[in-house]
């Protein structure tokens, strides 16, 4: 079930809903709701009003509604709602309209504020939340195992025999091949013992350390680059994420991408061959879609 469906359904039920860092929607009290047997119905004019508020807080009642409908724990429901808010702001900040099915469309105006255009149709009500499985209180718990039939017993006997034969063959093969190798080496030594003498000229002299060459190679191969972990549509959101991600013990940097978007990245100084490996490691640890940004 999509988050936007839950947001719209909560608005139908509660007459008001707030989306973090975006604003709040209010449904007219005179607004008729679709019946259970109706797929959709026309929406009267001015049925939904929107109030822009870039400092809007999380709607606790909406989060509780998401928990009741999806059976997720509250932190996961909160995270899903926050991701939806971030996605909406990313669309709006690059000038793209953000549709909300069952309500209308959000768009950013020249003044940098969000405007709402009401839709023409209302979606039908959501299906009831999935029922939780309840165990019978007086159901007896049995720890006994079902007896195997003779046919099943024969099947397992064949499997054990096959594994035993394979193990015996592997052990015999190992000892036979190892014995042949030892015999071959012994024959070669006995037939030509002088061939294994070590000439004096072949003694390996210690090599001088090539410190300067290694240092020069490292300086030539190494480069400085950033791996951008995530982008955030506001300074406040980026600061909160920076504090949270830095708590893992990693050295991170935060800097603006443009007047609206901020980046959180991890700096590196290593050979270019390590860039993809470093990016993949950060993707596994932090998630998302990190990318490389050369300095």
Q: What is the CATH number of the domain that holds 95?
A: 4.10.520
Does residue 261 lie in a domain region? yes
Structure tokens at 237: 């959101």
Domain boundary among 99, 123, 147: 123
- Asked, for residue 67, whether it belongs to a domain, the answer is yes
Block residue for tokens 């019946």? 35
Residues 117 and 11 in one domain: yes
pLDDT at 63: 92
Question: Domain for residue 243, yes or no?
Answer: yes
Looking at 89, 123, 157, the residue that finishes a domain is 123
Predicted confidence at residue 16, as pLDDT, reads 92
Sequential pLDDT tens for the chain (295 residues): 688 889 888 888 888 999 989 999 998 887 766 655 555 677 788 888 899 998 989 899 999 999 999 999 999 989 998 999 899 899 889 989 999 888 888 999 988 899 998 887 776 555 544 444 444 444 455 555 555 566 677 888 889 889 999 999 998 888 887 766 555 545 544 544 444 444 444 444 444 444 444 444 444 467 788 888 888 898 888 888 888 888 777 788 888 888 889 888 888 887 877 778 778 887 777 777 888 887 7
- Residue 187: what pLDDT? 53
Say how many domains are in the chain.
2
- Nearest one of 253, 288, 257, 281 to 267, comparing CA atoms: 253
Residue 93 within any structural domain of the chain: yes
Strands (E), 94-221: 98-100, 104-108, 114-118, 121-123
Q: What is the CATH number of the domain that holds 273?
A: 3.30.70.1070
Residue 107: inside a domain, yes or no? Answer: yes
Q: Does residue 37 lie in a domain region? A: yes
Residues with Cβ within 8 Å of residue 90, at least 6 apart in sequence: 231, 233
- Is the residue at 201 inside a domain? no
What gap in Å lies between CA 221 and CA 44, rounded to an integer? 66
| Residue-number span of the structural domain to which 249 is assigned | 219-294
| Boundary residue ending a domain (75, 91, 123) | 123
- 174 located within any domain: no
């Amino acid at each position: 079930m999509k988050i936007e469906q839950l947001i719209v359904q909560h608005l139908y039920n509660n007459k008001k809903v707030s989306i973090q860092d975006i604003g709040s929607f209010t449904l007219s009290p005179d607004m008729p709701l679709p019946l259970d047997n109706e797929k959709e119905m026309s929406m009267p004019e001015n049925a939904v009003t929107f109030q822009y508020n870039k400092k809007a807080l999380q709607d606790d009642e909406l989060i509780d509604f998401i928990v009741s409908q999806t059976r997720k724990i509250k932190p996961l429901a909160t995270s899903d709602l926050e991701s939806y808010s971030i996605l909406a702001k990313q669309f709006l900040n690059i000038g793209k309209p953000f549709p909300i099915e069952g309500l209308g469309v959000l768009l950013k105006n020249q003044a940098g504020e969000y405007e709402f255009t009401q839709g023409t149709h209302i979606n039908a009500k959501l299906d009831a939340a999935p029922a939780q499985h309840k165990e019978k209180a007086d159901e007896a718990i049995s720890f006994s195992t079902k007896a195997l039939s003779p046919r099943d017993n024969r099947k397992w006997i064949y499997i054990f025999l096959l594994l035993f034969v394979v193990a015996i063959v592997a052990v015999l093969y190992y000892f036979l091949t190892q014995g042949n190798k030892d015999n071959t080496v012994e024959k070669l030594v006995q037939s030509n013992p002088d061939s294994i003498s070590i000439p004096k000229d072949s003694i390996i002299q210690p090599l001088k350390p090539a410190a300067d060459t290694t240092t020069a190679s490292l300086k030539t191969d190494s480069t400085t680059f950033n791996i951008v972990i995530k982008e955030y549509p506001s300074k406040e959101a980026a600061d909160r994420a920076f504090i949270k991600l830095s708590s893992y013990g990693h050295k991170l940097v935060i800097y603006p991408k443009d007047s609206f978007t901020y980046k959180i990245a991890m700096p590196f100084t290593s050979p270019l061959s390590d860039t993809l490996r470093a990016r993949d490691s950060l993707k596994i640890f932090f998630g998302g879609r990190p990318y490389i940004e050369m300095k």
